[in-house]
């Protein structure tokens, strides 16, 4: 069965510092992987997704993630944090390669705090 | 494009009551999924509807049921509400066979 583990429930960085949010997955088939962001009292917004092909994926707001099959990881990074990046971040895996983007399995989330 | 819209945004119910939540998918999308997000947790998949039928279901009791209408909109019904049903309920729409799911703002349900 597919599963997602996000390491670190809370990450704090200074404005301008590197952001690194960790995600490891378990999947018996080639996975489709996603990062979503959630601001307070709002729904989820897709940051980026990995399906096939290039393992380094670029998303919105300067975020990127690298799919590493050997490490079963899909860590999210951003070179320079901005105050507006403070939010909850969720890593997710699709449970069916034939129906990607539906029936997502989510991690428990990582709260990113950015200080000035 | 209005995106995925959910109603109501908030509601309060009493234990044992029944509730219906509504979702209109993004224009052109034919598949609707529902998720429950408890406080401090990631969303958990409840079920998915396509062509007016439940296609996939997560680990939720039969108290949770749904419906999809010919215009692709959907309802989530929860019977015999428990305190533990208090959560943010998210609707997501996608194209059948598509990769990306678009989420609505959610409905915050509080059971007292």
Contact A111, A88 (CB under 8 A): yes
Integer CA distances (angstroms), B9 to A1, A45, A67, in order? 33, 17, 36
SS3 B18: coil
**Contact yes or no for A102 and B4 at CB 8 A:** no
Residues of B in Cβ contact (< 8 Å) with A109: 40-42
Q: Give burial (CB, 10 Å; 0-12/13-18/19+) of B62.
A: exposed
pLDDT average, residue stretch A3-14: 95
Residues of B in Cβ contact (< 8 Å) with A98: 97
Q: How far is A49 from chain B (nearest CA, A)?
A: 8
* pLDDT at A97 exceeding the cut of 60: no
Q: How would residue A96 be classed by pLDDT, with cut points 50, 70 and 90?
A: low
CB within 8 A of B101, min separation 6: which ones?
A46, A101, A102, A104, B33, B92, B93, B94
Q: What is the pLDDT of residue A98?
A: 53
- Residue A94 DSSP symbol: E
Residues of A in Cβ contact (< 8 Å) with B44: 106
pLDDT tens, B37-87? 999 899 999 999 998 999 889 999 999 999 999 999 999 999 999 999 999
Q: Is B98 on the interface with A (CB under 8 A)?
A: yes
**Contact yes or no for B44 and A109 at CB 8 A:** no
Backbone angles phi, psi at A97, to 5 degrees: -65, -20
pLDDT tens, A46-86? 999 998 888 899 999 999 999 999 999 999 999 999 999 99
**Contact yes or no for B99 and A101 at CB 8 A:** yes
pLDDT tens, B83-107? 999 999 999 998 877 778 899 999 9
Supply the DSSP string of B53-110, one letter for each residue: EEEEE-S--TTEEEEE-TTS-EEEEE-S--GGG-EEEEEEEE-TT-S--EE---EEEE
Alpha-carbon distance of B112 to B110, in angstroms, equals 6
Q: How would residue A103 be classed by pLDDT, with cut points 50, 70 and 90?
A: confident
* pLDDT at A107 exceeding the cut of 70: yes
Q: How would residue B1 be classed by pLDDT, with cut points 50, 70 and 90?
A: low
**Contact yes or no for B100 and A101 at CB 8 A:** yes
- Residue in the structure block whose two tokens are 């349900």: B109
Q: Is A59 on the interface with B (CB under 8 A)?
A: no
Say what the alpha-carbon torsion angle A60, A83, B105, B108 is, to the nearest 10 degrees.
150
């Amino acid at each position: 069965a597919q599963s997602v583990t996000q390491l670190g429930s809370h990450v704090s960085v200074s404005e301008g510092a590197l952001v690194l949010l960790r995600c490891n997955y378990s999947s018996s088939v080639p996975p489709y992987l996603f990062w979503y962001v959630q601001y307070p009292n709002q729904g989820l917004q897709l940051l980026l997704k990995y399906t096939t092909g290039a393992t380094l994926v670029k998303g919105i707001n300067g975020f990127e993630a690298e799919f590493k099959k050997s490490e079963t990881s899909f860590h999210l990074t951003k070179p320079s944090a901005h105050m507006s990046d403070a939010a909850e971040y969720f890593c997710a895996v699709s449970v069916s390669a034939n129906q990607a983007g539906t029936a997502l399995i989510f991690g428990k989330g990582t709260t990113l705090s950015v200080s000035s | 494009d209005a995106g995925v819209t959910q109603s109501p945004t908030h509601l309060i119910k009493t234990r044992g009551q029944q509730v219906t939540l509504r979702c209109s998918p993004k224009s052109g999308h034919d598949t609707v999924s529902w998720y429950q997000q408890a406080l401090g947790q990631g969303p958990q998949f409840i079920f998915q509807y396509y062509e007016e039928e439940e296609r996939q279901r997560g680990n939720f009791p039969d108290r949770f049921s749904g419906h999809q209408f010919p215009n692709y909109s959907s309802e989530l019904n929860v019977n015999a509400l428990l305190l533990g049903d208090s959560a943010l309920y998210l609707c997501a729409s996608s194209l059948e066979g598509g990769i990306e799911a678009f989420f609505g703002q959610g409905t915050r349900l509080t059971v007292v």
